[in-house]
Structure 1
Amino acid sequence: MATIATDQLALQRLYHWERTAADTVTLTQPMGGTEVRDFTWGQIGDQVRRMAAFLKAKGQAEGWPADAKVAILSKNCAWWLMSDLAIWMAGYVSVPLYPTLAAETVSQILAHSETRFVFVGKLDDWPLMKPGVPAGLAGASYALSPDDAKAAYESWDAICARTAPLAGAVSRGADELCTLIYTSGTTGNPKGVMHSFGAFAWALQSGLARIPLTAQDRMLSYLPLAHVVERTLVEHGWLTTGLKIYFAESLDTFAADLQRARPTVFFSVPRLWVKFQQGVQAKLPQPKLALLLRLPLIGGLVRRKVLKALGLDQCRFAAGGAAPMPLALLEWYEALGLRINEGYGMTENLALSHITEAGKRQFGTVGPAYPGVQVRIDTQTGELQMRSPALMLGYYKEPQMTADALTADGWLRTGDKASIADDGCARITGRVKDLFKTSKGKYVAPAPIEDKLGMNPAIEACCVAGANLGQPLGIAMLSPLGLQRAATDAEGLKAELAQHLADVNVRLDPHEQLDTLVLIKTPWTVDNGFITPTFKVKRNRVEEAYGAKFEGWVKQRAKVQFGD
């Protein structure tokens, strides 16, 4: 572990803000309707200390181990962050769960982690998740928890009201286990990635050299805090710099939530950046928008108006990641005056590997490595490998999986194929294991093709498959616009997408060109297992659901066809 100043560790940062900015509002939480609740650092410190005292006393009374696990099952909210801090202050290890998991996965994670207590918070689908929580597992609810969770668990406010705050400054060492981040995973069961307090502190120390967060910044927290990017960038960025966090209330209020926050730093995954784009194009068709942007004076007014409508007019640093950002999408936002920095990382390295540099046009790459991150390309497989002080301690209870994830000399196997240019910028070219071979013996890397296919507004998500077929094929889930077109003008939609397919194919090598594009009307969601909580398509689930139809689709000899 690299040398980390003690005052940069998570709890020490809380004590710093508690001492120096007690009256500063740092969290803004929508409570439904027009009600909004603000939290100062002093209020946060007081509530965290009370909940920590409760957890510590409960652990001592029940004989919890020193590294007992406490789970957080909730959408993002102020109490999520306070729960995490209370768990650490009590001396325990936090286990966040995605708020969209199936009951079976909830059960698996709680059992595997040996969770002793669970915070059941703000959730949309608690009745579906509830069977996964053991009936005998103690817990607490939040002010925004579902009613039956409030009935089942004592409330956060009641516990705080009857518990005296923990005094003093509890220290947690840099090498101590901080959290288990269970990977959402595109295949297999989630794995509990172990990270230390020092790893987070180092990640922020390195990350701030590339992402200049300050106490004056504002961020909107809406991607799951159970995900490594939100956890590192938002939670630990908040603790390190003292920036202000606004929380999103719901999908329906997201536009209003963005307007309330007007974030100065904003991160989103590619699928949501595409949704924002499609929302603009629905009101201002692309040909008209492109024309207006080219006009002197008017172009500047249009840019400001569009960004203000998105709630991003104050955004000075925008970023994307978790999946590849299509080049055409980056160029579209650049034309609006918003350059998106593309980041690259994994749960196993706290998402701290590469990011493009602010002010530099490094499109098509994920930029150079963060300061202090070492990278290399495996000469046999073309795999990008890396190491840094932000690397995981390993997978919880999985020594063999840990060994498999690392090389003999301690470098992380990312599983991604890449090339590194002379300027240090890395270009991700596909997954080592996602490569498949057609019946002609040619290998196909699906990710770059999927990037190109996804740049039509009728397509929301797509997957390229075709192992052992003569040519690959594309499977595309229609966007809301695509579904509307399918219902009112199916033949026109097919003709438009046939041209789009032809435009894509002409840019591919002959063995990569798609035989057919199959349109799917059934949504791919987290609930039905087709995507992860960060909107990555689960390739194995798509192939499992549609694989038996591949040959039949190819035999139709149609460039574009409906698959359901």
Structure 2
Amino acid sequence: MSYVLPLAAFMARVEASPEAPYLHQPREGQWQTYSYYDVEQQARRIATGLQDQGYAIGDRIAILAKNSAEWVIADIAIMMAGMISVPIYATAGTDTIDYVLKHSEAKALFVGKLDSADALSAITSSITTIGFPYPSVSSDLQWNHWLETYAPCERVAEPDPDDILTLVYTSGSTGFPKGVVLTHKNIAAGVIGANNLFESGHNSVLSYLPMAHITERSVVGMGSFYRSLEIFFNDSLETFVDDLHHAKVTLFISVPRLWLKFRSQILSVIPDEQLQLMLESGQKDAVIAQIRSKLGFSHCKTFGSGSAPISKELLVWFERLGIEIGEGWGMTETSGIGCSNAPFISGDLGTIGRPLQGLDMSLSDEGEILIRGDSIFEQYYLNEEATTEAFADGWFKTGDKGEFTGSRAVRIIGRVKEQFKTAKGKYVSPVPIESKLSACGLVEQACVVGSGLPQPIALIVLADNVSKNSTEVTGTLDVLLQDVNTGLEGHQKLDALLLVEDAWTIESGLLTPTLKLKRSAIEARYQRLWQGNPLKGVCTEEASTETV
């Protein structure tokens, strides 16, 4: 199948709507708007700057920055110059930054806003840096100087479909990341396949999930090349709600942890029992309108969740508020979303929906999800062994275990390599159990562990403003433990819920940049609490520490 490639799609949009508002960047409390023509002209000047430095077609150019208009413009400029982009998560540590720069043989690095520049300042790689125009950014060369100095390049690259567009390094939970080679055709197929996420006509989004992550980049960044889509960039965590209201978003994709926070925010104002009664009364429409307005969703038509499993119970809870969240699934290797419950089908809640246009999905004899199609990558960069291991008869082995429902939607039931064996020699799949635990409004994060233990236990982070020392909370968790165990086989039943003090974060090294659990790191951090100290029922980290 032939595709309009990303750069050609962007140029066509510029030609069709040159003055239409496109990117909206907050600067010192004010919004700066760029039209398609503005973006094209800046990208052409930056492309000239890259060429003037002596970088050649095919050279790798890295980007390390939080989301911004300049991130998208730099991405376009790299394509215009015929070069290959290498995005790096803004939260990456020194070792990861060093590894990606060296492994990709990057020739230059665009640097933008970062929460901390410590990791960047400690890298050993010798590389030229080009700084986005923000006061906190220190660099060898300056973005604004290039815009003032260089003329727009007259000719832009015309890549072949199989030319490499980008090297995206996966945010693995262990070891160094692998460089996923994605071609112009891969990205085009992935972006076009995600059309069902958008309402027809004009759309707007708030870009806050990392642009270095393939989903944000393909659905939002490059998705704006193929459809009428305005992008508003979140300035900071403190301005998130205000930015969301300002953007009047029509599409909002998030991660389970934020959906849990939204629910906690609602329930902090109105208890769930009272809310449910109001939803069954004549006040329903007014209540829903007020909640959506407070959250910034008055204009939103499509909602999504991805990156990690989300409980069906949470999805059903939001559906009653008219917030129909379609769960999606994808990997760097699939060029973004590979499966999605969009358009939303209520009966498919608890599944990741169906494969996107142009993709085939199957299951191996062991239940591993296999996928193939034009958006699927073909190789890991300079890693032939990993490439060979990743495929079977032309199918990419995703590492996820799944099953098809009666409606042919796909349900994720765990990771192939996440199973662990208890002391009884029985295997336990943690993800389904964690999903049941997360259905409780008191639970923000859950991680089931138990390798070598008689029975598994669950580490629990409680939601904000929930006291682990409350008798009422302890009672609710006791009931939760009993309810969850009722539906489990004997070897899967949890001996204990261990309430830990601190939330797991990217900064603490317990979550990946895409907010997946780093299971081995979490288990290593807390295993002292149960070694030689059998845990039963609901217990706290503090109390367990005292008995160790």
Q: Which residue of 2 aligns with 1:535?
A: 515
- Native 8 Å contact 1:196 1:393 kept in 2: no
CA distance in structure 2 between the partners assigned to 1:41 and 1:353 by the alignment: 28
Letter of the aligned partner of 1:3 in structure 2?
S
RMSD: 1.6
Alpha-carbon deviation of 1:491?
Answer: 4.2
Aligned partner of residue 537 in structure 1, secondary structure: coil
Alpha-carbon deviation of 1:351?
Answer: 2.8
Q: Which runs of 5+ in 2 are unaligned?
A: none
Q: Which residue of 2 aligns with 1:55?
A: 50
Q: Which residue of 2 aligns with 1:197?
A: 184
1:465 matches 2:452 = no
Q: Which residue of 2 aligns with 1:501?
A: 481
Q: Which residue of 1 aligns with 2:197?
A: 211
- Native 8 Å contact 1:466 1:550 kept in 2: no
- Native 8 Å contact 2:363 2:369 kept in 1: yes
1:111-510 equivalences in 2 (<5 Å): 111-132=102-123, 134=125, 136-144=126-134, 146=136, 149-150=137-138, 152-208=139-195, 210-214=196-200, 216-296=202-282, 298-361=283-346, 362-379=348-365, 381-407=366-392, 409-482=393-466, 485-486=467-468, 489-510=469-490
Alpha-carbon deviation of 1:232?
Answer: 1.0
CA distance in structure 2 between the partners assigned to 1:430 and 1:87 by the alignment: 38
Alpha-carbon deviation of 1:269?
Answer: 1.0
> Which deviations, in whole Å up to 9, do the C-alpha atoms of 1:166-202 show, x marking residues without a partner?
0134312211100011111122211111100111111
Aligned partner of residue 222 in structure 2, secondary structure: helix
1:27 matches 2:23 = yes
Q: Which residue of 2 aligns with 1:513?
A: 493
Aligned partner of residue 338 in structure 1, secondary structure: coil
- Native 8 Å contact 1:494 1:561 kept in 2: no
Q: Which moved more, 1:494-503 or 1:244-253?
A: 494-503
Letter of the aligned partner of 1:394 in structure 2?
Q
Distance 1:242 1:170, change over 3 A: farther
- Native 8 Å contact 2:495 2:535 kept in 1: no
CA distance in structure 1 between the partners assigned to 2:530 and 2:363 by the alignment: 34
Identity %: 34
Q: Which residue of 2 aligns with 1:86?
A: 77
CA distance in structure 2 between the partners assigned to 1:59 and 1:145 by the alignment: 27
Aligned partner of residue 417 in structure 2, secondary structure: coil
Q: Which moved more, 1:526-535 or 1:218-227?
A: 526-535
Alpha-carbon deviation of 1:431?
Answer: 1.0
Aligned partner of residue 322 in structure 1, secondary structure: coil
Distance 1:525 1:145, change over 3 A: farther
Alpha-carbon deviation of 1:389?
Answer: 0.5
Alpha-carbon deviation of 1:132?
Answer: 2.2
- Native 8 Å contact 2:173 2:518 kept in 1: yes
Distance 1:473 1:195, change over 3 A: same
| TM-score w.r.t. length of structure 2 | 0.95
Distance 1:439 1:273, change over 3 A: same
Distance 1:220 1:133, change over 3 A: farther
> Which deviations, in whole Å up to 9, do the C-alpha atoms of 1:313-360 show, x marking residues without a partner?
211111111111201110111000011111111111113321113242
- The count of residues paired between Structure 1 and Structure 2 equals 542
CA distance in structure 1 between the partners assigned to 2:471 and 2:321 by the alignment: 33
> Which deviations, in whole Å up to 9, do the C-alpha atoms of 1:130-165 show, x marking residues without a partner?
21263x41111112351xx33x33321111110011
| TM-score w.r.t. length of structure 1 | 0.93
Distance 1:550 1:129, change over 3 A: farther
> Which deviations, in whole Å up to 9, do the C-alpha atoms of 1:70-96 show, x marking residues without a partner?
111000000000000111111110011
CA distance in structure 2 between the partners assigned to 1:283 and 1:174 by the alignment: 52
Letter of the aligned partner of 1:194 in structure 2?
V
Alpha-carbon deviation of 1:414?
Answer: 0.7
Distance 1:544 1:467, change over 3 A: same
Alpha-carbon deviation of 1:499?
Answer: 2.0
